Structure formats: structure tokens, C-alpha cells
Structure 1
């Protein structure tokens, strides 16, 4: 049975390719059975459920595949094959779901800092979302790996948000952008900064191509898998696994190449096709050889 919900005349549905969306399949993928009315409570619960089910990862790139942002490819990868993805994939799919449910959702693009000073001008390249509810705007992001917010954050200067054990703050940077910060065991950490300028699917297609092809892109150079959990967060980079717990320094585990597929299955819920797993093992073994 297909879930059918009322549409809002305010929506630019073509921006998100809403009509081909298999909403029931997506909701089953994230194991969500709650209300679907376009309210803040629904938005919060959907974001939590998505993050619990869909990991952040670049394994398609490092095993020789291609990342595409059309809805059919996104649904095949993230929903039917139960894989994960990075920001352009995850937030495009999530925006499409929100649009179908009647939320007013628009695209934005951020400059990733990941600890850098906020006066540093980094390139635009991180897809985020802006959701408007009852005249109030909210930052929504399901695609910034293990450090991102687990719930919507009100787009208001100086707002502080606690998502379970994890804390966030919105400020203004010296460059005049919104600045999202995350409180870690060693203090406030700059995640990214962004403006109110709208961005569209065409912008994300170009950014996605650079992220998945440029030789300096971290997604081309490294094996990446991350999970944004409520109690524990995981970050796999090549053959190092970091485990983050609230208020504690991260725990580091060094992995053997042959252990990688099992770690991906057990810790991230990621099962690769046999040919992809073989390619991943070759990539991991080359890392071991290079470090010898």
C-alpha cells in the first residue's frame, strides 16, 4: 500500500523529484512508524531514525563505483541496497522525503571547517537543509558524519541545543556566516559555516562530482564510514576506527585489512556486494603495504 499525503502549494516539487519517491520503502528502511504530519516533532523523530539507520560512507567511490544524485539511484543505493552515503546523497534524499510529507524545505550549502578557525575561507561543498515551520527556520543535516546534529536546530543567533548527550551552538562567524559548533570533550569545535543563500540540485550535482572525483577529495583518498549514534559515535578512516562517547576523548582502534568487511557489517550495518568487498580489501591491503 502506498502512503499518500496532502501536498502544499508552496513546494517546488521538481527541485526534489518528489513524485518518484517510494515513501513506504524509505520509512521501512529507517524503521519509522510514527506520525507523518509536517510538525517539528515529526521532523525530529525522522531525523533521529534516519541517522540510526543510514551510515555516512564513501565506499562506492573507493571500490570503483559512481555517485549519482538522481532519485532512482539514491533510492536504489540508500534504500533498496541498504547502503549509506555522504552529504549530497543523504540530504537530497531526506529533503525529498520531507517535501513529500508537506514540509517547506530548501537547500543550502556550507563551508566545512572541522576544527579550523572560522575566519578561514574553505570551499563550498557541504549540502545542508533549511526547513520552515510556522514561520520559524530550522537547520537540518543528516549528512555530516559522526559529529553532526541529531535533531533540527533553530536558525537563531546564539541558540544552544542539546541532542541527548551531544551539544551544539549557532553563532555568527567573523565572515558574517552562520557558524555551527559542536561541544566535544576538549571544548567547542567548529563544524561548518553557511549563508542564507538558496542552493539547488544543479549545485549539488557539481559539488558531488568534485567530491567523488577530485584527487584531493578526502572521499577519493580515504576509506570512510561513520555513524552518528545517540550514545556512541563511530568514525572509520582507512584502517583506524575511532569511538566517541560523550565527554570523553575518542578511543582509537587500529584494524587489520582482513577485518574491514566484518567491521563494516557489525558496526555500520554495511554489506557490500562480493566484487565491491574484494575491491575494498585490495584497497586496504595497499594501505598496509604503503605503511610498511
Structure 2
């Protein structure tokens, strides 16, 4: 279904720097999940610059693997699903709604996988940007700390009349806030195509109105939202550092901090569009 047979698995795993076992075990899942989050950047540049994002696996391999570029959740998860399929994992694709303090119901445009391995189910969310560095077991009340980053998973009513799961992270005031929620309704590549079309092209999508990039490292998170560059230490043991950039600074920050080298045309287009 996810065209794993078309994936250049050697190239994908080399992009991740992964040299471990290729068997569908929990150890493999954890290692590939972590390597993907740390290696493949999160950005919406194609949506912002072109209002066009392809989910064709050949295009994703060229962009995310061979050219070392980044993408957003639909791109990450489509590529990741092909890899897990090729590795022999049993999984279901899901869609969730990002919350992050929003009071209104937002569209279900966040992609992730539910992976079943060794008799247990794991939420494997590699495409959030600030993604957990490991899968989280689907157990109500599961409270875990992953490399200094706390998470809480709860089963609850996620929208009126719909039960599901809500993934929480600390709210900065001693409590929890929902980062996204999800039902276990299976999703298929065609469903992701529909959501991707809205996110990449709609005037109502925030991704067509400003650049947004994220890079996770074991010790920190870098985010660029428009012209605001924020660096947050893992576990928030130290205060975040925030800086407002000038448009001309964007290409160098993208290269030096986010590991994304734009072509000359892309760099010019990005600076001009932001201006």
C-alpha cells in the first residue's frame, strides 16, 4: 500500500545514519524513529514558496533522501511508512488534530503511524517537527520522559462525540497542554493526499502564509516561525532564546542552524516573499 518495494532502503537508512538490524523488532522501531527525527528536517518551504507538495514516493526520495531537504508531516510519514513496510512492520496510518492551546476544532491534518510490535501498540510520530525521539506506547495515562522531554498520553473525548487519544506536553506552568489528538480510524495514501492538498495550497492554511522550520537535536529544539528564531533547551531546564531576523538573514540561518542549503533561486524567492 505504501510502495515500500519502490523505496531505496539503503539510501534512506544511510540518510538517517542507521546501521542497525533490519528486522521488525521494537529495538529497530525505536532506533529508526529516533534517527528519522534527528536527521530529516521539518519545514513547509515548498508550500510557502510554491503551494505545491508532492507525496509521490519517487519525489520524496529525491527531496528528503538524495537532496537532504526537509518536509512536513505528510511527506515524513509517507516516506517513513514505506520504510517500515519494507522492514516488515505491522502498522496503521492515522490522522490527528493539532491543538497547542487552540479552542476551536482544527482540521485533522497531522499524520502519524500506530505500529504494532511484540504484542503492543506504539504511536510513532516522526512528522510533528518537535517530535518525540521515541515511539510512545498506546496506554491510557502513559507518562514518559524521552531524553529529557516529558509526554503524557490519555484516552479521552477528542472532539464532540468522538473518543480517541490526546498527546500532552508540559504547559510551562506545572501542568499539561494537548499538542495533538488522534482517533484510531485507519488512513490511506489517498486520505493523506486530500489533507496534503489543503495544507499545501489553501489560503486558509498557515503553511502558505509564512515559513516554518523545526530541527530537533538531543539537547535542544530550534524553530523558525516567520522571522522569529527560537532555541529551546531539551526539558526546558534553561529559558528559551529568541531572536527576530531580518529577511536577508534567512538563507544563512537555514543552512547553518537547520542544515538546509537552498538553491540561489530558492534563497532569493524566500527573502523576497518574506519581505
Shorter-chain TM-score range: over 0.9
Q: Which residue of 2 aligns with 1:160?
A: 143
Please give the secondary structure, in 2, of the residue aligned with 1:173: strand
Check if 1:140 corresponds to 2:124: yes
> How big is the shift at 1:65?
5.9
Q: Which moved more, 1:255-264 or 1:179-188?
A: 179-188
Quote the Cα distance in structure 2 between the aligned partners of 1:185 and 1:36: 39
Q: Which residue of 2 aligns with 1:283?
A: 273
Q: Which moved more, 1:120-129 or 1:223-232?
A: 120-129
Q: Which residue of 2 aligns with 1:228?
A: 216
Please give the secondary structure, in 1, of the residue aligned with 2:109: strand
Q: Which moved more, 1:274-283 or 1:170-179?
A: 170-179
> How big is the shift at 1:17?
0.9
Q: Which residue of 2 aligns with 1:124?
A: 108
**Contact 1:116–1:190 (CA<8 Å) still a contact in 2?**
no
2:134 aligns with one of 146, 151, 159: 151
> How big is the shift at 1:61?
2.0
Q: Which residue of 1 aligns with 2:258?
A: 268
RMSD of aligned alpha carbons: 1.4
2:155 aligns with one of 163, 172, 189: 172
Q: Which residue of 1 aligns with 2:170?
A: 183
Quote the Cα distance in structure 2 between the aligned partners of 1:65 and 1:74: 16
**Contact 1:173–1:193 (CA<8 Å) still a contact in 2?**
no
Q: Which residue of 1 aligns with 2:23?
A: 37
Please give the secondary structure, in 2, of the residue aligned with 1:171: strand
Quote the Cα distance in structure 1 between the aligned partners of 2:249 and 2:124: 34
Quick check: which one's strand share is greater?
A: 2
The size of the alignment, in residue pairs, is 268
Quote the Cα distance in structure 2 between the aligned partners of 1:66 and 1:73: 12
TM-score (norm 2): 0.94
> How big is the shift at 1:84?
0.6
Q: Which residue of 1 aligns with 2:184?
A: 196
Identify unmatched segments of 5+ residues in structure 2.
Answer: none
> How big is the shift at 1:184?
4.8
Q: Which residue of 1 aligns with 2:55?
A: 69
> How big is the shift at 1:249?
3.9
Identify unmatched segments of 5+ residues in structure 1.
Answer: 1-14, 287-292
TM-score (norm 1): 0.88
> How big is the shift at 1:227?
1.0
Please give the secondary structure, in 2, of the residue aligned with 1:181: strand
